[in-house]
Amino acid sequence: MGDAVIIVGAGQAGLTVAEALRADGWQDEIVIYGAEKHAPYHRPPLSKGYLLGDTPAAQLTIRGPDLFDKKRIEFCAGRPVRAIDPTSLRIELDDGSRRAYCSLVLATGSRPRELAVEGARLDRVVSLRTLEDSATIGTQLQKAENVVVIGGGFIGLEVAAAARKKGCSVIVLEAMDRLLARVASPAISDFFARLHSDHGARIIFNAKVSRLVGEAGVVRTVETADGQSFPADLVVVGVGAVANDELARHAGLACDRGVVVDDCSRSSDPSIFAAGDCTARRLADGALSRLESVQNAVEQAKSAAAALTGRERPFRAAPWFWSDQHGVKLQMAGSSANADQAALRGSLADKNFSLFYLRSGKLIGVDTINRPGDHMLARKLLDHGLSPTIEEVSDEHFDLKSLLATGVPA
């Protein structure tokens, strides 16, 4: 056998590694093992179009079967990898069979964090990660009257929006004092709290879920520590995700809430790379960054493929993300954490604005609402280290694109 690259996990990251390897001229074997029975599919629609029934499952496939043949990629669906042995350079499959690799890429993704309270395993208490999860929630939404969403993060809020659209009564229980607290600025949190309230959802902040109570194994109520109780026919738990890094940990690779990689997707083992939700990326300043986004999966996958073919392609681009709720498109670039100044462009009332965040005068993040042009521009500004002033941002007549023309970092 020649030099096989084995990829564990057939999601956005795993597939992109394979495609990028071929694009980079890799001639030898490429094998992808995926635990799921499906070809790689897009997860974002699972809480958006697919959940609402607007997008059929067939349209979620990232690449059709033709690609695997055309690119000579051996894709093994429904074959979870059970262990890796970095000493003998072998993986072990679910049936105990082994296969040798010359390089290994871990692209195992993440899974929903479980709610650590009594009753979390009752029927109709669900989380959302897979096509099947989304199909189940979609079916339940047809008949559920009272939906309780635990966790006001992106997935929880997107499900809340879908549930309202299906006519369910919706309560969002958020443990913090604002929505999206880990990822968004307070202004964006407030905007979304307003949006969901305007669409009829009830949001309860500082809600600590204490237990779920069921009847005949099916959830009936959600109780919070302050003694309140909320009726529920369906409980959707969206309290974050945990990296699937067990294979790496058992093999002795450095892990810290994810497989630790550098910005070329190299793990602590020279033959093993990792990309996507399963990683924690070491940044230049030593901090670890754990991102769960399509961009992160794609960029880390391309960096891994480059490293495997002997090139350096560090992933240093500003992170970006999007979310669709109630017809509003939020796009985030960079980060608003640690900002000491923010400037508004556009109109909150019209649901058409951008918030630019600066720290010591330097642009560090931009959140846009229904302004894809500003978002794309923000990514360029951030990647080039260019910063508008607060006045330039606030002045809609000032053409922010002109900053790119000067090209010199401020």
Ligand X SMILES: Cc1cc2nc3c(=O)[nH]c(=O)nc-3n(C[C@H](O)[C@H](O)[C@H](O)COP(=O)(O)OP(=O)(O)OC[C@H]3O[C@@H](n4cnc5c(N)ncnc54)[C@H](O)[C@@H]3O)c2cc1C
Catalog residues that contact another protein under the rule CB under 8 A.
42, 44-45, 48, 55, 58-64, 66-71, 294-295, 298, 322, 324, 329, 331, 370-373, 376-377, 380
Long-range pairs for 338-346: beta carbons < 8 A, 24 or more residues apart: 338/364, 339/185, 339/364, 339/365, 341/390, 342/185, 342/187, 343/390, 343/393, 343/394, 344/393, 344/394, 345/374, 345/393, 345/394, 345/396, 346/371, 346/396
Q: Which two tokens stand for residue 410?
A: 């401020």
CB of 214 to ligand X, least distance (A): 25
Contact predicate 47/22, CB 8 Å: no
Q: Rank residues 61 and 271 by Cβ distance to another protein and give the closer one.
A: 61
Q: Rank residues 39 and 171 by Cβ distance to another protein and give the closer one.
A: 39
Q: Which two tokens stand for residue 134?
A: 């989304």
Q: Which two tokens stand for residue 234?
A: 């369906």
Cα-flanking dihedrals φ and ψ of residue 348, to 5°? -65, -45
Which does residue 14 touch among ligand X, another protein, none (CB within 5 to 8 A, set by kind)? ligand X
Q: Which two tokens stand for residue 314?
A: 């560090």
Contact predicate 361/388, CB 8 Å: no
Answer yes or no whether residue 46 interacts with ligand X by CB under 6 A: yes
Tell how strand 272-274 and strand 103-106 pair up.
parallel
How far apart, in whole angstroms, are the C-alpha atoms of residue 231 and residue 173? 12
Q: Rank residues 221 and 336 by Cβ distance to ligand X and give the closer one.
A: 336
Contact predicate 173/150, CB 8 Å: yes
CB of 236 to ligand X, least distance (A): 11
- Using DSSP's 3-state secondary structure scheme, residue 108 falls into coil
Exactly one of 105, 141, 235, 247 binds ligand X (CB under 6 A); that residue is: 247
Answer yes or no whether residue 293 interacts with ligand X by CB under 6 A: yes
DSSP code of residue 187: H
CB of 67 to another protein, least distance (A): 3
Answer yes or no whether residue 321 interacts with ligand X by CB under 6 A: yes
The percent of the chain in helix, strand and coil, each rounded to the nearest 5, is 25, 30, 45
Q: Which stretch binds ligand X (CB under 6 A): 206-214, 319-327, 358-366, 372-380?
A: 319-327
Answer yes or no whether residue 75 interacts with ligand X by CB under 6 A: no
Which does residue 377 touch among another protein, ligand X, none (CB within 5 to 8 A, set by kind)? another protein
Which does residue 353 touch among another protein, ligand X, none (CB within 5 to 8 A, set by kind)? none
Between 101 and 140, how does the x/- string for binding to ligand X read (CB under 6 A)? ------xxx------------------xx-----------
Question: Which residues, 249 to 288, sit near ligand X by CB under 6 A?
Answer: 276-278
Which does residue 247 touch among another protein, ligand X, none (CB within 5 to 8 A, set by kind)? ligand X
Cα-flanking dihedrals φ and ψ of residue 304, to 5°? -65, -45
Question: Which residues, 176 to 215, sit near ligand X by CB under 6 A?
Answer: none
Q: Rank residues 11 and 388 by Cβ distance to ligand X and give the closer one.
A: 11
129 closest CA partner among 235, 242, 274? 242
How many residues at the interface with ligand X, by CB under 6 A?
A: 36
Which does residue 62 touch among another protein, ligand X, none (CB within 5 to 8 A, set by kind)? another protein
How far apart, in whole angstroms, are the C-alpha atoms of residue 332 and residue 334? 7
CB of 60 to ligand X, least distance (A): 11
Cα-flanking dihedrals φ and ψ of residue 314, to 5°? -65, 140
Between 6 and 25, how does the x/- string for binding to ligand X read (CB under 6 A)? --xxxxxxx-----------
Answer yes or no whether residue 80 interacts with ligand X by CB under 6 A: yes
Q: Which two tokens stand for residue 262?
A: 């550098």
Which does residue 162 touch among ligand X, another protein, none (CB within 5 to 8 A, set by kind)? none
Residues that bind ligand X (CB under 6 A): 8-14, 33-36, 43-44, 46-47, 80-81, 107-109, 128-129, 155, 244, 247, 276-278, 292-295, 297, 321-323
